[in-house]
Structure 1
């Protein structure tokens, strides 16, 4: 086939990415593989739990393979409504609204709560979904240095817009560190701003029984605080949710484009998330086990124990991190490899994620493999 001249730029940019060690390619998982998984976000180890599978199967049999339409047309089932109530009760929020993904939840919430007459202040470490939400918000956007509360306060104090929204992750996805939520909320309240906290990596890990960092620091249910979360990590499914004051939920139903125009979350995914939440309620010790396993992984890799499930081992250049991750996988340990633009230049890394159900044998293999691989990477 003759190459189209208009596509030549794709070849050039692809070659540049490969030369920089930034080429990406999906790798299919093998069902039943014996590999030790330190790359997924299945923090509680529930992805194949009987309650999760039973919840998904029951919803699938009752409602079918898809939700058939937008949540405002035919895409809402009683299963969706039950999950929203259960998640709100679990996290201490007044109400919940389920979206088709955590990404969609962030896009929907930020764009619906901002606009041309608003200021949006976002932490430099915020997840890509919040970054994209800023771009779509039509608001004036100020990006503040990571976890610098004084910079947030200065941006809010200097604003001329009538409304303001401050964005942050609770647990940051690449370094695994925590946001100073109490201080951020105090600043927001002092300046009449709303605080939106993405709890994607907090729910199931932080707080009493995994209720999240917002709950842990005593801010659950505050009317000027919005929580977003995903169902695809600790809750072993997929989808997203916004947890907030009932008036905010009503506003999102009327105005959030990713709610109005997107097909509703498949019932089987809703059922799976409800099953995972049921297990977490019955076995709250799973949340503490995640942090214990993260401490084990930190000891093995020689980094400081994180306050989350994320263990980040910075290696520097993209190709070094990529080669190290491949050597781990070849020896039976799957680790994440984070390179730009996921992380800043010069900080490519192995990203290990702890799971509550990692066994002693798993950790022994991880210790053997990572000790050897990291010695070679640092040589």
Structure 2
């Protein structure tokens, strides 16, 4: 049925298959930034927490009895630490973005979304009732121009990422100021910034010292720095209540796994208790990137440009033979192919030095 399409994907170098990481390799491909997915104590504590209750599965949606004390405890902890009024857990980052954008952009509204926003957000734009305007990546001038061209009476919503998942750059502080100037709601996808930046490792609000206001919405995932699976949305009581009543991925899906939320809560506490030590490790790995590649990453994502898809795949496979796992990211996910190297605190700095030296040799050898 799809033979021709699959053949075309193979010819173009865009064919994908599931990859099982080698547990013996240096994992520089996953988003387990702080190595929490390997912490057995966190696993044990989460298991004990769930086992304390008479049932271990949520059994239904949040609004038909599936809301559990484990969900509520984690939401409260996130709100207290991040300074938001209310929160809600979601099944995944993809579902959280889909629900947020589809629910909040009503008829007559205008969504302004960064052209590099995650695919989940872009998928959601196909479902909204309002108008969708993309602006150039991390370009505040382009956003201001496009905001100024819209009717001031219409509700405006801006969607950005804290750290962009492919470019690895951080949203500019002026985007927060622009949202205030234009009285716009602001969605900040902190999937890759929560747990990796800021004095408390809470993300870009923390990094810039911004106190959340009623027009701010923060989304974060649990499958990256927190070492689990799932997502959360933080905002004002009004916004979260609206999502409870309008966000389809919250209403029509079984509530998030109790174990995954419990495990994320353990990871969240672990990060808070060790933020200084973890920050030191993060900065040390950024130092190595600066020495090897001549730039300092803003987060823990290091994109290494490749001349073409074939080279990206060849170098990825050669590195795998040497015991290194890195991502070969190809169009249409990115405009041009890259090797995506993830800085992880559980991998020793000397391994990154060797990796970047290997890439240099393979590029010019």
The Cα shift of 1:205 comes to 0.9
Unpaired segments ≥5 residues, structure 2 = none
The Cα shift of 1:198 comes to 0.5
Q: State the match for 1:232 in structure 2.
A: 223
* Other structure's SS at 1:74 match: helix
Which of 91, 99, 106 does residue 97 from structure 2 map onto? 106
Q: Cα distance 1:59–1:266, how it changes in 2: closer, same or farther (>3 A)?
A: farther
Distance 2:224 2:48 in 1: 21
1:150 aligns with 2:141: yes
* Other structure's SS at 2:33 match: coil
Q: State the match for 1:340 in structure 2.
A: 331
Alpha-carbon deviations, 1:288-341, whole Å to 9, x = none? 4223213324534x2412011001101121121111111111111101111111
CA contact 1:120–1:167 (8 Å) conserved in 2 = yes
The Cα shift of 1:167 comes to 0.5
The Cα shift of 1:264 comes to 1.0
Of 237-246 and 87-96, deviating more is 87-96
1:178 aligns with 2:167: no
* Other structure's SS at 2:111 match: strand
The Cα shift of 1:17 comes to 1.3
Distance 1:40 1:291 in 2: 19
CA contact 1:43–1:309 (8 Å) conserved in 2 = yes
Alpha-carbon deviations, 1:243-266, whole Å to 9, x = none? 111111111111111110111111
* Other structure's SS at 1:167 match: strand
CA contact 2:102–2:247 (8 Å) conserved in 1 = yes
Q: State the match for 2:340 in structure 1.
A: 351
TM-score after normalising by structure 1: 0.91
Q: State the match for 1:280 in structure 2.
A: 271
CA contact 1:54–1:275 (8 Å) conserved in 2 = no
The Cα shift of 1:216 comes to 1.9
Q: Cα distance 1:207–1:315, how it changes in 2: closer, same or farther (>3 A)?
A: same
Of 260-269 and 51-60, deviating more is 51-60
Q: State the match for 1:25 in structure 2.
A: 17
Alpha-carbon deviations, 1:216-237, whole Å to 9, x = none? 2132321111111101111110
Q: State the match for 2:361 in structure 1.
A: 375
Which of 280, 284, 296 does residue 292 from structure 1 map onto? 284
1:77-116 to structure 2, matched below 5 A, reads 77-116=68-107
Q: How many residue pairs get matched?
A: 362
Q: State the match for 2:119 in structure 1.
A: 128
CA contact 2:98–2:121 (8 Å) conserved in 1 = yes
* Other structure's SS at 1:34 match: coil
Distance 2:364 2:135 in 1: 33
Which of 174, 179, 198 does residue 189 from structure 2 map onto? 198
Distance 1:198 1:333 in 2: 29
Distance 1:65 1:329 in 2: 38
The Cα shift of 1:48 comes to 2.1
* Other structure's SS at 1:97 match: strand
Q: State the match for 1:61 in structure 2.
A: 51
Which of 202, 206, 212 does residue 215 from structure 1 map onto? 206
TM-score after normalising by structure 2: 0.94
Distance 2:305 2:20 in 1: 25
Q: State the match for 1:16 in structure 2.
A: 8
Q: Cα distance 1:55–1:261, how it changes in 2: closer, same or farther (>3 A)?
A: farther
Q: State the match for 1:45 in structure 2.
A: 35
Q: State the match for 1:119 in structure 2.
A: 110
CA contact 1:293–1:358 (8 Å) conserved in 2 = no
CA contact 2:198–2:204 (8 Å) conserved in 1 = yes
Distance 2:140 2:92 in 1: 29
Q: Cα distance 1:93–1:36, how it changes in 2: closer, same or farther (>3 A)?
A: same
The Cα shift of 1:111 comes to 1.6
Q: Cα distance 1:191–1:373, how it changes in 2: closer, same or farther (>3 A)?
A: closer
Q: State the match for 1:4 in structure 2.
A: none
Distance 2:230 2:271 in 1: 18
CA contact 1:315–1:348 (8 Å) conserved in 2 = yes
Q: Cα distance 1:316–1:255, how it changes in 2: closer, same or farther (>3 A)?
A: same
Unpaired segments ≥5 residues, structure 1 = 1-6
